[in-house]
Amino acid sequence: MQWKKKVITLITGLALVLSMLSPIPLKAAAAPVSVQTEGNEVVTFGEKETKDMVLTVKNNTGKELTNVVITPALKANADGWPFEITKQDYSQSIEKMDADAAQNLTFSFTARGDITKNYYKLKFNVSYTEDGKDNQAEQMVYVKTTPKQTDNTQTPTQPDKGNGDSGSGNSDNGDSGNSTDMLSGGDVSNGEVRSSGGGDGSTDAAGVPRVIVTGFATDPAQVKAGTNFKLVIHVMNTSKTTAVSNMLFDLQAPSSGTETAAEAPAFLPISGSSSIYLDRIGCGETKDISIDMNARADLVQKPYSVDMAMKYEDSSHTQFESSSSLAVPVQQPPRFEFSKMELSPESIAVGEDTNLSCSLYNTGRIKLYNVKVKFTGASIEENEIFVGNVDSGGTGAIDAMLTGKEAAEGDGKCKMTVSYEDEAGTVSKMDQEFSLEVTPMMEDMAAPTVMDETQSSFPIVPVVLVIILIIVAAVVTVIVIRKKKKKIVEEEDLLDELDGPSEDE
């Protein structure tokens, strides 16, 4: 019967879906244990300043954790660790953390005496025990350092725009030294200034002009592998007493390659030259320099450093050299394809089901997280299934049962919408159309149901009784008739016997 077929089809479809979902991890791509500053703010340390840095540790595993240990990764050099090292071990531990729980840990640090105005990305090692298994991870936290101001060096919050000096770069029309501008593009690190001679020697150590990178931006904001972008760098002359001129900047990107690809720079200048010239920057002034570059198509999704060497002169024509490093994040665009869709059956009536199956091939270089597939259309009932995470080069199975809702008009177009998340949790969607013929429900398909209802309500017992009575009546009638015939025969035989002797006489 039709209803039995539907039940069997539904049970089979549920079994297939459950068998698919059971081994798929449902966890999102968030760090199992996250570490960030309280309020997610960038903590600022002044020269030789001692300050508490409060870190919020959160359990994102959905399970109870034990032996959670947070350890800062100390470095001996000031470029890697801006604080004085006064202890052998700065580790702090949390004995137990419930699922989704958060706890604050306080670290006390003292800034070094030789720090410069800079942003540091501090690494914290995280270890914890989950379900009896030891795990390790890394988390990064940004801090800002500012040296004491002197008569010859300042850190202005608003660049001096009064000089109006022009160069081959573009003049900055805003405050380029704020942390938001710097962090939006990536990480920045400035090196020390070195004198390379020349001039009349009138510049003393206290009057050394320092040129630093206060931040940078890219156009477009997100640099994707295999595309061109413009790198705009904000450079500032921190000196209050002297301008700098005859400036030459040279940018070098790191080499990057794989076993199948030769080592080559991650970024290449489109013009062929990696040098930029700027004629002058006034005292305390900030200017922009820019260069058009291309990101290689085979780059892994991560930040890539760009080293920038600087050469310039002060007003006494003394030559100086310095360097800075920029970290430019590169994103790999997601790419995936679908195999041929299989519909079984290819045509259904209203109220019937069909099975749609196909494969999703992740042909990109990044992992797709929390993949979901939604089916919509005027002729079918809305349905959504969860596929899970699909690794780069991996395959995700799409298998769904679709039910006809109303007869399709035209070519019966329906839509399959695939949604997924990247490593940052940003959701993207893509639509794929397919055709499904849905016909009206046939009348003869409903007839068996009516007949079954009629048969189920038929008065069987009274009919059987009537039949039995009819049979009994027929038997009685036959018996009576036979008895009457037998009596008549006996009477006739008796008469014959009586008549016989009289005739003989």
251-296 confidence digits (pLDDT tens): 988 766 444 344 678 888 988 888 999 999 999 899 999 999 999 8
pTM of the predicted protein model:
0.45
Helix ranges, 186-313 (H): none
Could you tell me which residues come within 8 angstroms of residue 156 by beta carbon, excluding any fewer than 6 positions away? 177, 284
Q: Position of tokens 């310095």?
A: 322
Strands (DSSP E) found in 193-285: 194-197, 211-219, 223-224, 228-237, 244-252, 255-258, 261-265, 267-269, 275-281
Q: Is the dihedral of CA 496, 497, 499, 504 positive or negative?
A: positive
Look at residue 373 in the predicted model and tell me its pLDDT.
Answer: 95
Q: How many CA atoms lie within 13 A of 228 on its CB side?
A: 5
Look at residue 170 in the predicted model and tell me its pLDDT.
Answer: 39
Q: What's the whole-number mean pLDDT along residues 67-79?
A: 83
**Secondary structure letter of residue 488 according to DSSP:** H
CA nearest neighbour of 436 among 412, 402, 403, 404:
412
Q: What's the whole-number mean pLDDT along residues 107-136?
A: 87
Look at residue 408 in the predicted model and tell me its pLDDT.
Answer: 83
Look at residue 290 in the predicted model and tell me its pLDDT.
Answer: 93
Going by pLDDT thresholds of 50, 70 and 90, the confidence category of residue 87 is: confident
Residues 380, 414: contact at Cβ < 8 Å?
yes
Is residue 48 predicted with pLDDT exceeding 80?
Answer: yes
Look at residue 356 in the predicted model and tell me its pLDDT.
Answer: 93
Identify which has the larger pLDDT, 365 or 236.
Answer: 236
- CA torsion angle 487 489 495 496 (round to 10): -160
What backbone torsions phi and psi does residue 88 show, to the nearest 5 degrees? -80, -30
Q: What's the whole-number mean pLDDT along residues 313-341?
A: 89
156 cis-preceded (ω within 30 degrees of 0):
no
Domain covering 31-145 in this structure, CATH number: 2.60.40.10
Average the pLDDT over each of 116-125, 222-231, 428-437, 484-493 and give the range with the smallest value: 484-493
Domain at 2-25+334-443, CATH from 2.40.50.100, 2.60.40.10, 3.40.50.720, 3.30.750.24: 2.60.40.10
CA separation for the pair 187, 305 (Å, rounded): 9
Q: Which fold has domain 149-332?
A: Immunoglobulin-like (2.60.40)
CA separation for the pair 298, 261 (Å, rounded): 9
Q: What's the whole-number mean pLDDT along residues 90-111?
A: 91
Percent of the chain past pLDDT 70, that is, above it, reads 76
Residues 212, 323: contact at Cβ < 8 Å?
no
Q: What's the whole-number mean pLDDT along residues 83-99?
A: 87
Q: One-letter amino acid identity for 91?
A: S
Is residue 145 predicted with pLDDT exceeding 80?
Answer: yes
Q: Position of tokens 């199948």?
A: 260
Where in the chain is CATH 2.60.40.10? 2-25+334-443, 31-145, 149-332
